[in-house]
Each structure stands twice: as C-alpha cells, then as structure tokens.
Structure 1
Amino acid sequence: MRFDVSSTALLSRLQSISKVIASKNSLPILDSFLFNLEGNTLTVTASDAETRLVTSVDVMNGQGAGLFAVSAKILLDPLKELPEQPLTFDINDENLEIFIHFQNGKYNFIGQKGDTYPRQKPLNDNAISVSMDAQMLLNGISRSLFATADDELRPVMNGIYFDIHTDDLTFVASDGHKLVRLRNLAVKSPERASFILPKKPANLLKNLLAKESEQVLIKFDDNNAYVTCASFEMVCRLIEGRYPNYNSVIPQENPFRVTIDRISFLNALKRVSVFSNPASSLVKLHLKDNLITVSAQDIDFSTSAEERIVCQFDGTELSIGFKATYLIEILGNISSEEVILELADPSRAGLIIPSENDEDEDLLMLLMPMMLND
C-alpha cells in the first residue's frame, strides 16, 4: 500500500479523534489508530472499547487497499512538530513495515494487523433516528454536562438524558443537588424515545461539534448510539437503566421572584465565596426591598464578606443558603443578561431561569438549598 497525504490535514483528523484513546487499555491494539485505505480515501478509527470515533481524510496517489494499525503516540508526537508538507506512506503488505517519507527525512516503524481491531456491532432493526442542527446538539450538551453526577451506585445519573418527544427534545442532567432541563422545540421526532449519553462521549462531542455546522444524525437502540456528522462518526455504548422522573422534583408554585443582572450577581458570588468555609462553600442570600445581600463567613478563620446588589424583588424578607460553587457554575452556563430566581422558602429548591431564552429553547436550572446556621 502507498499513498500521499497533507501533514496538517492528517494531524488535525488524528488529533480530533485521539482524545477517545484511554491511558490504560484492556486490549493493547486500542493504543493505536486503525487505518483503512480504499482508493483515495483513508478512514481512521480510534476507540476505547466503549466509545469509537471514525473520521476520514482524502489522500492522493492511493495504491492498494487494506487495514493496518499504528501506535497513536508514534504518529502524533512527530507530526505535531512537522510544518505543512506532503507525506508519503509506504506500507509493506507482508510484514507491515511502514516508511513515512517527507521533505527532509523519513520515519520507519512496524505497524500491526488491522483485522485484530475490535469490530463494532450494528444497531438493532428497531433503532430510532433523530436529526438536528450540530450547534443545537452542542448547546444542549454544553449547558447540561456540568450537572451530571459521579455516582457509582446510580450510574443513570452519570450522563445526559435525551428525552425525545414528537414536538421537542429535552436535555436533562442532575447530580441530586443541581438539575438542568433544556427543552429544544426545533427538534421533532416521529415517536417518543429516550437514551442516556455517558459523560466521556458527551465531552468528546462537545469538542468535535464546535467545528461542525451541518445536520447531525443520531441513531440509537437500547445499547448503542451512532452520531454521524459531516467529518466524523461516533459510536458509543449507552448507560442502561431508567432515568428518574425529573419533572416531579421541579417546584411549580414559587411565590418569590427575583430578577437580577447575571454578570453582577456572578461576579459578586465569585468575590464573596472566597470568604466562605472551604468545606461547605456556603453563601447566604438575603432578599429585602429590591436588594439582594450576598454574604459568606468562615468562623474558623474569622473571615467574612458581604455585597449588596440591586434587583427586582417585591416579596417579604427572605434568607436562603446555597453552595457557591454550584451557583457560580449554573450562572456561568446561562447566556442571558438577566436571570430570574424563583424561590419558595429556605428549605425548598430554587429555580434559576434566563429572563430571555434563545430561539426555540426553554432553559431551567434547579439548585437545592443548604441549611443556614442562624
């Protein structure tokens, strides 16, 4: 086999899929990229046994066809340091000795047989398909990923729940303390379905989708999902199990409603939380007469801080405590200028929603309060 390829084109494709390769693999061949040459198309695969990424790159002067595997480290490290230039790959079909010729030199190493690389199981006949814009999928994953759990006892909480209805798609993530529900009204499906996307493939998609602008097709059955884009395909194993009824934990009647500038509130929280107890990260919000007072203290070190911010609030006086790190994360994942806090009492969950949603979106974030000592 022999082919010519641009060094930067090959490197960008390899880097985009290399993040799936685990640091410790059960099968040694999973430390490698799988190459498949057919005509002038080179298909490259990387996998960690649970998740698989496939991309392709155009080559020139392709001769022969076949499968071979190359250590990811051997290829990536030297290619990162090479300036843009054509590379010529020359592969001996008998012993898989590989020569890479370039402007000022050559590399020589031994590849591995590609037929020992794990195969991907096809989807069941009853697989369901849903199509959406790449940026919509990216937005749903980006907004909800931070709220997923790391819970060995309840693995269903460790991923993003895709709740697909005939007239919308809802992204849900929760760790028991915070919850994100992002409803996208632009995605339609012929039937009701759902799946739970694990955290690692969600993170990989977050990086890959940033460069995509076209439609994404998701096909899934009970065990696996295929996510197909213009420049890559991802196959991943889904988390099995029933996701809890997320709507039942969202309080419906919240008498206290606060409208506040998001950036002012976020920056005040970042400053005040420095003075909170590091173990609890507790901040207190005191609401009274269109003013919100954000305060924190650490009794052990005799430090405290408070800041006042103007807001719109005409209810009775209320104090409620939240974990600052969670509240900062939530506000950082909302894009509107102003946010609305919907509160009931110091022991019930507070809702944080944008004052203006993006087109075709309905975003809601929930945060459980913490007990105040006073």
Structure 2
Amino acid sequence: MRFDVSSSALLTRLQSISKVIAAKNSLPILDSFLFLLEGNKLTITASDVETRLVTWVEVMNVEGSGLFAISAKIMLEPLKELPEQPLTFDINDANLEVFIHFQNGEYNFIGQKGDTYPQQKPLKESAVSLAIESQQLLSGVNRSLFATADDELRPVMNGVYFDIQPEYLTFVASDGHKLVRLKNLSIHSEGRSAFILPKKPANLLKTLLPRTDEKITLLFDDNNAYLRSTQFEMVCRLIEGRYPNYNSVIPTENENKVIIDRLSFLNALKRVSVFSSPASSLVKIQLSENQIIVSAQDIDFSTSAEEKIVCQYTGSEFSIGFKATYLIEILSNINSGEVVLELADPSRAGVIVPTENEEDEDLLMLLMPMMLND
C-alpha cells in the first residue's frame, strides 16, 4: 500500500479522535489507530470498547488498499512537531513494515494487523432516528454535563438523559444535589423515546461537534447510540436502566421569588466562598426587601465574609444555605443577564431560571439546600 497525505490534515483528524483512547486498555490493539485505505479515502478509527470514534481524510497517489493499525503514540508525537508538508506512507503488505517519508527524513516501524481490532455491532432494526442541529446538541450537552454524577451505585445518574417527546427534546442531568432540565422546543420527533448518554462520550462531543448549524444524525437502540456528522462518526454504549422521574422533584409553588443580576451574584459568591469552611463550602443567603446578603464563615480559622447585593424582592425576610461550589456552577451555565431565584422554605430545593430564555429553549436548574449552623 502507498499513499500521500497532508501532515496537518492527518494530525487534525488523529487529534480529534485520540481522546477516546484510554490510558490503560484491556486489549493492546486499542492503543492504536485503525486505518482503512479504500480509493482516495483513508478512514481512521479509535476506540476504548465502550466508545468508538471514526473520521476520514482524503489521500492522493494511492496504490493498493487494505487494513492496518499503528500505535497512537508513534503517530501523534512526531506529527505534532512537523510543519505542514506532504507525507508519503509506504506499507509492506506482507509484514506491515511502515515507512513514512517526508521532506527532511523518514520514519520506519512495524504496524499491526487490523483484522484483530474489535468490530462494532450494528444497531437493531428497531433503532430510533433523530436529526438535530450541531449547535442544539452542543448547547444541551454543554449546559447539563456539569450536573451529572459519579455514582457507582446508581449508574443511570452518570450521564445526560435525552427525553424525546413529539413536541420537544429535554436534556436532563442530576447528581442528587443539583439538577438541570433544558427543553429544546424546536426539536420534534415521531414518538416518545429516551436514552442516557454516558459522561465520556458526552465530553468528547464538546470537542468534536462543529460550531455550525450542520445537521447531526442520531440513531439509537436499547444498547448503543450512533452519531454522524460530515467530519466524524461516534458509536457509544448507552447506560442501561430507568432514569428517575425528574419532574417530580421540581417544586412548583415557590412563594419567594428574587430577580437578581447574574454576574453580580456570581462574583459575590466567588469572593465570599473563599471564607467558607473547605469541608462544606456553605454560604448563607439572607433575603430582605430588595436586598440579598451573601455570607460565609469558617469557625475553625475564625474567618468570615459578607456582601450585600441589590435585587428585586418584596417578600418576607428569609434565610437559606447552599453549597457555594454548586451554586457557582449553576450560575456559570446560565447565559441570561438576570436570573430568578425561586424559593419555598429553607428545607426545600431552590429553583434558578433565566429571566430570558434563548430562542426555543426552556432552562431550569435546581439546587438542594444545606442546613444552616445558626
């Protein structure tokens, strides 16, 4: 086999899928990229068994065709340091000895047989299909992923739940302390279905998805999901199990509603939380007419802080405790200039929503309170 390829085009494709390769693999071949040469197309695959990424690059002056694997480290490390130039791959079909010729030299090593690389099982005929714009998928994953759990006892909480209704798609994530529910009203489907996308492929999507309005094809059955764009394909094993009824934990009657500038609140929390106990990260939120007092203290080190922020609030005086790190995460994942903080009492979850949702979106975030010391 022989072909020419642009060094920068090849490196870009390799880097885009290399993040799926695990540090320690159960199968040694998974430390490698799988290459399939067919005509002027070089298809490249990387996998960790659970998740499989495929991309492709155009090649020239092709002689022959075939399947072979090359160590990811051998491919990536030298290419990172090479300036843009054509590379010539010359592969001996008999023993898979590989020569890579370039302007100032050559690399020589032995490849591996590609037929030992694990193959992907096809989706079932009952697989559900959904077309979704890249930006919509990116927005849903980006703003919900931070709320997923790392819970070995409840694996269903360790991913982003896609709740597909005929009129909209809801992205949900929760770790039991915080919850994100993002409805996209512009995504429609023929019926009801759902799946749980694990955290690793969700994180990979954040770097893979093009920042355009390109349509992504999403297919899934009970076990696997398949996503395809013009640049890549992803196949990943889904988390099996039933996701909890997330709507039942969202309080609907919250008498105390506060409208506050998001950045003022966020920055005050970041400053005040420095003085909270490292063990609990507890901050106290005190509401009074048109004013919020954010305070924290660490009794062990005799440190404390307090800041006052102007807000729109006309209810009775009220205090509630929250974990500062969670509240900061939530406010950082809302884009609106102002947010509405909806509270019922100090023992019930607080609901945080933007004053203005983005077009065709309905975003709600929920945070469980903490017990105040006083």
Deviation at 1:373, TM superposition (A): 1.2
| Letter aligned with residue 296 of structure 1 | A
Could you say which residue in structure 1 is the equivalent of 2:124?
124
Could you report, residue by residue, the CA deviation over 1:153-182 in whole angstroms, capped at 9, with x for unpaired residues? 000000000000000000000000000000
Deviation at 1:191, TM superposition (A): 1.1
Could you say which residue in structure 1 is the equivalent of 2:276?
276
The answer as to whether partners of 1:185 and 1:361 remain within 8 angstroms in 2 is yes
Deviation at 1:62, TM superposition (A): 1.2
Could you say which residue in structure 1 is the equivalent of 2:250?
250
Answering whether residue 280 of structure 2 is matched by residue 261 of structure 1, we say no
User: Which blocks of at least 5 consecutive residues in structure 2 are unaligned?
Assistant: none
| Letter aligned with residue 49 of structure 2 | A
Could you say which residue in structure 2 is the equivalent of 1:204?
204
Could you say which residue in structure 2 is the equivalent of 1:173?
173
Could you say which residue in structure 2 is the equivalent of 1:106?
106
Could you say which residue in structure 2 is the equivalent of 1:296?
296
Could you say which residue in structure 2 is the equivalent of 1:214?
214
| Letter aligned with residue 12 of structure 2 | S
Instruction: Provide the rounded CA distance (Å) in 1 between the counterparts of 2:181 and 2:87.
Output: 48
Could you report, residue by residue, the CA deviation over 1:189-231 in whole angstroms, capped at 9, with x for unpaired residues? 0010000000000000011114454000110000000011110
Could you report, residue by residue, the CA deviation over 1:252-295 in whole angstroms, capped at 9, with x for unpaired residues? 00000000000000000000000000000000000001000000
| Letter aligned with residue 263 of structure 1 | L
Answering whether residue 159 of structure 2 is matched by residue 159 of structure 1, we say yes
Could you say which residue in structure 2 is the equivalent of 1:237?
237
Answering whether residue 9 of structure 2 is matched by residue 9 of structure 1, we say yes
Instruction: Provide the rounded CA distance (Å) in 2 between the counterparts of 1:63 and 1:345.
Output: 73
Instruction: Provide the rounded CA distance (Å) in 2 between the counterparts of 1:211 and 1:168.
Output: 22
Could you report, residue by residue, the CA deviation over 1:275-319 in whole angstroms, capped at 9, with x for unpaired residues? 000000000000001000000000000000000000000000000
User: Which blocks of at least 5 consecutive residues in structure 1 are unaligned?
Assistant: none
- Cα RMSD of the aligned pairs, angstroms, is 0.6
SS of alignment partner, residue 268 of structure 2: helix
Could you say which residue in structure 2 is the equivalent of 1:39?
39
The answer as to whether partners of 2:134 and 2:211 remain within 8 angstroms in 1 is no
| Letter aligned with residue 121 of structure 1 | K
Could you say which residue in structure 1 is the equivalent of 2:187?
187
Instruction: Provide the rounded CA distance (Å) in 2 between the counterparts of 1:8 and 1:229.
Output: 21
Instruction: Provide the rounded CA distance (Å) in 1 between the counterparts of 2:240 and 2:39.
Output: 39
The answer as to whether partners of 1:212 and 1:230 remain within 8 angstroms in 2 is no
| Letter aligned with residue 65 of structure 1 | S
Instruction: Provide the rounded CA distance (Å) in 1 between the counterparts of 2:251 and 2:210.
Output: 34
TM-score by length of 2: 0.99
Instruction: Provide the rounded CA distance (Å) in 2 between the counterparts of 1:130 and 1:100.
Output: 41
Could you report, residue by residue, the CA deviation over 1:34-69 in whole angstroms, capped at 9, with x for unpaired residues? 000000000000000000000000011111111000
The answer as to whether partners of 1:212 and 1:229 remain within 8 angstroms in 2 is no
Instruction: Provide the rounded CA distance (Å) in 2 between the counterparts of 1:355 and 1:62.
Output: 58
Instruction: Provide the rounded CA distance (Å) in 1 between the counterparts of 2:212 and 2:238.
Output: 23
SS of alignment partner, residue 17 of structure 2: helix
SS of alignment partner, residue 251 of structure 2: coil
Percent sequence identity over aligned pairs:
77
| Letter aligned with residue 46 of structure 2 | A
SS of alignment partner, residue 181 of structure 1: strand
SS of alignment partner, residue 259 of structure 2: strand
Instruction: Provide the rounded CA distance (Å) in 2 between the counterparts of 1:248 and 1:46.
Output: 40
SS of alignment partner, residue 150 of structure 2: coil
Could you say which residue in structure 1 is the equivalent of 2:139?
139
SS of alignment partner, residue 321 of structure 2: strand
Instruction: Provide the rounded CA distance (Å) in 1 between the counterparts of 2:161 and 2:187.
Output: 15
The answer as to whether partners of 2:257 and 2:342 remain within 8 angstroms in 1 is yes
| Letter aligned with residue 72 of structure 1 | A
| Letter aligned with residue 269 of structure 2 | L
Instruction: Provide the rounded CA distance (Å) in 1 between the counterparts of 2:314 and 2:229.
Output: 49
